Structure 1
Amino acid sequence: MIFSLLWTDMLVWGLLSVLIFLGWGASRSPQVRQQWHTIFRSSIAMASTIILLFYIFFTLLDSVHLRFAIESTESKHEQVQYSEIVSLLDLIFAHNIEGTERTYSEPFALNEYTKSIVVDANGVTKQEYLPLKHVSNRDESVKTSLIAIMMGLSISMIFVLMHILWRSETGFKDTFRLTFQGKTELPWRTAYVTMTLLITLFTWFYMLSFDYHVLGTDKVGGDVLYQSLKSIRTGVLIGILTTLIMLPVAILLGVSAGLFRGWVDDVIQYLYTTLSSIPGVLLIAAGVLSMQVMMNNNPTWFESTLERSDLRLLFLILILGITSWTGLCRLLRAETLKISQMEFVTAAKAFGVGKLTIISRHIIPNLMHIILISVVLDFSGLVLAEAVLSYVGVGVDPTMHSWGNMINQARLEMARDPMVWWSLFSAFVFMFILVLAANLLSDRVQTVLDPRNKS
C-alpha cells in the first residue's frame, strides 16, 4: 500500500495545517477569543458549525488516497503493479461500489423501478419488475435500524462524555449537570444534540446500506447515497479553496487602491471594472475549455482518470478565484478610503510611520469583520456556482462526483414517466444543508463583528 497525493489533497491538508496554526495563534489573543466566544453563544451558530465540521470530516476522509499492490503470480523480480487510486471514503463504502445494480431503483426498494421484458420457462414474453441483486429481505430492516440507532447513540455518548471531561473545571458531575440544564456559557447542549443526530443518522444510513440502496440508484445502477457523500469533497473544496485564492488578491488590491490613491487607484479600478464587465460564465467556460483541449492533447500527463479530473477541478478553482475577487476588492477599497481619513491613521502618517506598518496595524485589523463576513458568504455562493457550472457543462469533469453533475444527469430523468426524483432530491438536500449552515453562521458573524451593531 502506498499513499497517492493529488494536487487538491496537498492543498486540503496544507490548508488544515495553516488553519490549526492560525487558530492556535488567535486563541492567545484575549480580544479575538472573546469575539469568537460571542459568536458561538448563539445556538444557531453552534449547530451550524457542527454541521459544517461534519461536512469537512467527509472532505478529509475523501482526501486521503491510497493505492494497493496487486498480487502477481509471475516472477517476484517484476515491477510491482498497483490498483486504481481509492480514498478512505471509497474503502468505507466499498460494498456500495461493488453492489452496482442494472438500472434505476427507488430508495429502500426491492425491485427495479421500471418493468423489463423477460421470457419465462414456457417461452411466454411478459413485462415484470426484476428484483435487485444487492438487497436483502425487509424482515431484518427493523432489527438493523435498532442496532444502528443504539450504536450511533453510543458513539455520540462517548464523544460527549470525553468532551465534558476535557472541559470540566469544577468537576465532571457539575459540568455534566450544567450542560444538561443548558446553563453553560456556550450552548454545548445544542452542539451535543446536533452531533448526536448527525452521527445517529449517518450510522443508520451506513448500516442499512449493506442491505438496501438507501437513496436509490441512478440510470447505470450506481448508489445515490455514495454519490452524494462523494460530492461533498467537490463542493467544500470549491467553496473554501476558491475563497482563499481570491482573498489575498482582493485584500492587496483593495487596500492599495484605497490607501495609495493616484495612478495606483486608477489602474486597480480599471482592472476590476474591466474584469467585472466580462460575463463570468463565458470567462470560466473559455478557461475550462482551453484547459480541456490542453489535457486532451497531452494524455501522457495522467496515469488515471482521477488525476485528470483532479487537475480540472484545480484549474476550475483557480479560474473561479481569478474571477471572484472584484466585489470584495471594491468593498475594501471604499472602506480603506474611509479609514485612511481617520485621526489615528493621520497621526501615524504625521509621525512618519511606513505604509506597510499602517496597513498591518491600522487598516487590516479594521477590515477583518468585512473580510470574515465576505469569506463565509462567498463560500455559499461558490458551492451553488459549482452546481450551475456543472449543469451547463463547464464545471468539474463529468467523471467526478459532484452535486452539479448529479443535477445535470437528473434533468432528463425528471421528464420521464414515471419520474425519477431521488437523484435530484439527494443532491438538493445535501447542498441545501451545507449552504444553509454557512449562511446562518455568516449572519451571526456579521452581527457580532460589524462595528455598527453596538449591542
Structure 2
Amino acid sequence: MRSSLGMACAILLTIFILSGVFAPLLAPYDPLQLNLDARLQAPAIHHWFGTDELGRDILSRCIYGARISLSVATSVVILSLFLGLLIGSLAGFYGGWLDTVLNVYLINAFMAIPGILLAIAFVAFSGPGFRNLVAALSLTMWTGFARLVRAQVAAAAQMEYVEAARALGASDLRIIARHILPNVLQPVLVQAALGLATAVLAEATLSFLGLGTPPPAPSWGNMLNDARSHLFDSPHMVIFPALSVMICVVAFNFLGDILRDTADPRRKVRRSAVPLEA
C-alpha cells in the first residue's frame, strides 16, 4: 500500500466493489428499462455513457455488470480455492500413491484440456446461468490452486515444527489445518488475486458467446455481444463495457503482482538493508 500503484489498484477495486454492492443506489436508471425514443444516443448529460439499441442506459448497465462479474469471480475463486486446498493438501502431505493419483492423473488430466473449451462444453451441456457458469469456471481454475498447494504442503511437511507436532501426538488433520496451511497461505492468496482477474475475463468471454448469465442481464459480456452490430455507428456501446473489463482485470493483475512482491522475503531484505558507512 506504500506504492502509488498499490494505492491506485486499491482505489479502482474499491470503486468496482462499491458499484456492485450499491448498484441500486448508484445507477441513475433501471438497467432493464427500455426507452426506444432515446436509442443509440451518444454520451450526454442525461446519459453519461450513452444508450444502447433499446434505449437502456449504458452507465447503469455497467454498474450492474460489476455486480455480476465480481459475484461470479468471487464465487469461482472461493470454490476453486476450496477444491485446490483439499486435493493439494492430501497429495502434498501423504505423497506416495495418493499423490500419483491426484497429481499425475487427476490434475494433469484437467490441465491437459484447454480451460475455455472445457468451460464452453460444460455450459453448453448444462445450460447458461449463474450456477452453471460458476461451476464451469471452477472446473478450469482449481487445478492451478491444487498444484500450488501441493508443492507448498510437500515442502512444509518436511519442516521441524511438523515433526515436533507429530511427535506430540497431533492428528494429521490438526497438523494440516493448524501448522501447515497457515504457513503456505501467502502464495495462495497471490494466486487468488490473479485468479479473480482470470475469472472476470472468462465470465465476460462466456457471456459474449451467449453462455453466461442469460440476457437481458446487464453483464459486461452481454453488453459487448449486443454492441457487435453497432461497432461503427455507435462505438460507445463497445468502449465503456470493454474499458470496465480491462480496468478490472488490470487492477486485479497488478494487485496480485504487488502481493507477490510484498510476500517475497528477498525484497523485504533488500528494502531493510542499510549500506554500511566506510
TM-score, with length taken from structure 1: 0.55
Instruction: For residue 100 of structure 1, report the CA deviation from its aligned partner.
Output: 4.5
1:101 paired residue number? 37
Instruction: For residue 330 of structure 1, report the CA deviation from its aligned partner.
Output: 0.8
Question: Which runs of 5 or more residues in structure 1 are unaligned?
Answer: 1-39, 63-86, 109-207, 293-308
1:191-206 matched pairs, under 5 angstroms: none
Instruction: For residue 428 of structure 1, report the CA deviation from its aligned partner.
Output: 1.6
Give SS of 2:184's match: helix
For 1:266, the aligned partner's letter is: T
Give SS of 2:268's match: coil
The alpha-carbon distance between structure 1 residues 48 and 405, as it changes in their structure 2 partners (threshold 3 A), is same
Matched, 1:216 2:50: yes
1:271 paired residue number? 106
Determine the C-alpha separation between the residues in 2 that align with 1:291 and 1:101: 38
For 2:17, the aligned partner's letter is: I
Q: Is the 8 A contact 1:217 1:224 kept in 2?
A: yes
205, 224, 246: which one pairs with 2:80? Answer: 246
What does the per-residue CA deviation read over 1:4-58, in whole Å, with 9 as the maximum and x for residues that have no partner? xxxxxxxxxxxxxxxxxxxxxxxxxxxxxxxxxxxx3333323322322221122
Determine the C-alpha separation between the residues in 1 that align with 2:21 and 2:165: 45
Matched, 1:401 2:228: no
Q: Is the 8 A contact 1:284 1:394 kept in 2?
A: no
Structure possessing the higher relative contact order (Cα contacts under 8 Å, 6 or more residues apart): 2
1:45 paired residue number? 6
Give SS of 1:101's match: helix
Give SS of 2:37's match: coil
Instruction: For residue 364 of structure 1, report the CA deviation from its aligned partner.
Output: 0.7
Determine the C-alpha separation between the residues in 1 that align with 2:165 and 2:267: 27
Determine the C-alpha separation between the residues in 1 that align with 2:76 and 2:32: 31
Determine the C-alpha separation between the residues in 2 that align with 1:89 and 1:246: 31
Determine the C-alpha separation between the residues in 2 that align with 1:281 and 1:357: 37
2:158 paired residue number? 341
Give SS of 1:412's match: helix
Greater Rg over alpha carbons, structure: 1
Instruction: Please state which structure has a larger fraction of its residues in strand.
Output: 1
Matched, 1:453 2:267: yes
Matched, 1:368 2:185: yes
For 1:288, the aligned partner's letter is: V
Instruction: For residue 278 of structure 1, report the CA deviation from its aligned partner.
Output: 2.5
1:110-189 matched pairs, under 5 angstroms: none
Could you say what the CA RMSD is over the residues aligned between the two structures, in angstroms? 2.3
2:62 paired residue number? 228
The alpha-carbon distance between structure 1 residues 281 and 443, as it changes in their structure 2 partners (threshold 3 A), is closer
The alpha-carbon distance between structure 1 residues 229 and 253, as it changes in their structure 2 partners (threshold 3 A), is same
Q: Is the 8 A contact 1:103 1:219 kept in 2?
A: yes
Determine the C-alpha separation between the residues in 2 that align with 1:357 and 1:364: 10
The alpha-carbon distance between structure 1 residues 371 and 433, as it changes in their structure 2 partners (threshold 3 A), is same
Q: Is the 8 A contact 1:96 1:226 kept in 2?
A: no
Matched, 1:316 2:133: yes
Number of aligned residues: 268
The alpha-carbon distance between structure 1 residues 96 and 321, as it changes in their structure 2 partners (threshold 3 A), is closer
Instruction: For residue 316 of structure 1, report the CA deviation from its aligned partner.
Output: 0.7
For 1:279, the aligned partner's letter is: P
The alpha-carbon distance between structure 1 residues 352 and 343, as it changes in their structure 2 partners (threshold 3 A), is same
1:56 paired residue number? 17
Instruction: For residue 232 of structure 1, report the CA deviation from its aligned partner.
Output: 0.9
What does the per-residue CA deviation read over 1:407-441, in whole Å, with 9 as the maximum and x for residues that have no partner? 22223322x5xx32111110122222222222222
Q: Is the 8 A contact 1:102 1:221 kept in 2?
A: yes
Question: Which runs of 5 or more residues in structure 2 are unaligned?
Answer: 270-278
Q: Is the 8 A contact 1:103 1:221 kept in 2?
A: yes
Instruction: For residue 381 of structure 1, report the CA deviation from its aligned partner.
Output: 0.9
The alpha-carbon distance between structure 1 residues 51 and 235, as it changes in their structure 2 partners (threshold 3 A), is same
TM-score, with length taken from structure 2: 0.86
Instruction: For residue 383 of structure 1, report the CA deviation from its aligned partner.
Output: 0.6
Determine the C-alpha separation between the residues in 2 that align with 1:442 and 1:48: 10
What does the per-residue CA deviation read over 1:185-239, in whole Å, with 9 as the maximum and x for residues that have no partner? xxxxxxxxxxxxxxxxxxxxxxx4xxx2222222222222222112111111121
The alpha-carbon distance between structure 1 residues 397 and 49, as it changes in their structure 2 partners (threshold 3 A), is same
For 1:272, the aligned partner's letter is: I
1:32 paired residue number? none
Determine the C-alpha separation between the residues in 1 that align with 2:37 and 2:115: 39
1:281 paired residue number? 116
Q: Is the 8 A contact 1:370 1:450 kept in 2?
A: no
Question: Percent identity over the alignment?
Answer: 35
Instruction: Please state which structure has a larger fraction of its residues in helix.
Output: 2
242, 258, 263: which one pairs with 1:444? Answer: 258
Determine the C-alpha separation between the residues in 2 that align with 1:93 and 1:221: 11
Determine the C-alpha separation between the residues in 1 that align with 2:30 and 2:94: 57
1:257 paired residue number? 91
